[in-house]
Amino acid sequence: MKLSKIMAFTLAALCAISVMFGSCRKKDGEAAQAGGEQKKITIKVGDTWSSTHPIAQALDQVFKPQIESKTNGAVTVEVYHSGVLGNEQALWDGVRNGSIEVVVIGSVMNTEYKPMLISDWPFLYRDLNHAKAVWTGSFATDFLKDFDAFFPQVHMLSVGPNSARTFTSNKKLTSVDDFKGQKFRMPSNPIHVGIAENLGASAQVIPLNELFNALQTGVVDGQDNGMVTVLSEHLNEVQKYLYETNHIVATMEIVVNAGLYDGLNANTKKIISDAAKEAASWAWDTYIKSVDADRDTIRQSGVTVTPCTAEDQARIIAAIKPLLDKLYAENNWAKPLTDKVKAVQ
């Protein structure tokens, strides 16, 4: 064989070997990206709750340790409670722009994404176990997908409990008639404000971190929050009455920045997603178990706690009908979405 032919044959063979090994390296790289070694990163997690709230406890006892353990320390989770990283609006802005990796927030985005009002819809659930079934089942899966499509900068990973909201006051509050003429601090949310006004009270929007002083100094007579929040914010120290209306079972959403999440390998994504779902489920169970103990603690602190009878609940629902009619009229998604919630078993 002539030398030129030998060289040509050898070159062709080397090229074939090079292509073969190059292909192998590409496949190895794709495998690593899909489920291989994750580079070390730190994830900051922010909420606005004290460390005693069930959703905050879930971050500390489920979300953080599960991620750190299952990623063999490749992902470090730093949790910041009590608004250290900002209020809800700041957390929502931060997770969208990537300055905060994960946040736990309520429905602060409902002015941008109206279906998020479902998080504060009054008298939507049969009981707390029904609420848990809604937000840990197939309804939540569909809702999260729609949310992510609307906000491509983030992914909603799971939905946990805020609380079943009750009313407290320094003035007598043991029946529906007692709302008239009272001043209540309400969240900056049209549903909450509408409920207070439909019941004959006036509503004033005050940040949660200013609420204790507002109650103590008489700026407002009362407020609405779950009993777990009444205790964690020490509101029982500056209130005399609690009316257990349970008018809203509010939720908290675990949201991750999409740029961070989408850049992780598939295995790490699954670990974080699973940890968020388990944290939410754990928080629901912990919250539901805490309600009776919280009620007893509030009573023992000297607050008069009055359950809302079925008759009074019916009167409240009748009183807030103008609000509900307005919500249904202004939001064409509301009737099918609330019907879907009510159908969850």
pLDDT at 85: 97
* pLDDT bucket at 11, cuts 50 / 70 / 90: very low
pLDDT tens for each residue of 93-121? 999 999 999 999 999 999 999 999 999 99
pLDDT at 132: 98
pLDDT at 32: 37
CB 321 within 8 A of CB 122: no
pLDDT at 212: 97
Of 134, 179, 313, 299, residue with least CA distance to 227: 299
Considering all CA atoms of the chain, what is the largest pairwise distance in Å, rounded to the nearest integer?
Answer: 108
Helix 334-342 × helix 321-330 angle, to 10°: 120
pLDDT at 36: 66
Comparison of pLDDT for 14 and 181, the residue scoring more = 181
pLDDT tens for each residue of 17-52? 333 333 333 333 333 344 568 999 999 999 999 999
Phi first, then psi: what are they for 170, rounded to 5°?
A: -90, -15
Which runs of consecutive H residues, i.e. helices, occur in 151-265?
A: 190-198, 211-216, 227-232, 258-262
pLDDT tens for each residue of 163-195? 999 999 999 999 999 999 999 999 989 999 999
Provide the token pair at 33: 């990206």
* pLDDT bucket at 308, cuts 50 / 70 / 90: very high
Enumerate residues 6+ apart whose C-beta is below 8 A from 112. Answer: 151
pLDDT at 35: 53
pLDDT at 208: 86
Given a cut of 90, whether residue 77 has pLDDT beyond it is yes
pLDDT at 105: 97
The CA distances from residue 272 to 43, 74, 171, 235, in Å, are: 11, 12, 46, 35
Comparison of pLDDT for 24 and 137, the residue scoring more = 137
> 39-342 falls under which CATH superfamily?
Bacterial extracellular solute-binding protein, family 7 (3.40.190.170)
Q: Where are the domains of the chain?
A: 39-342
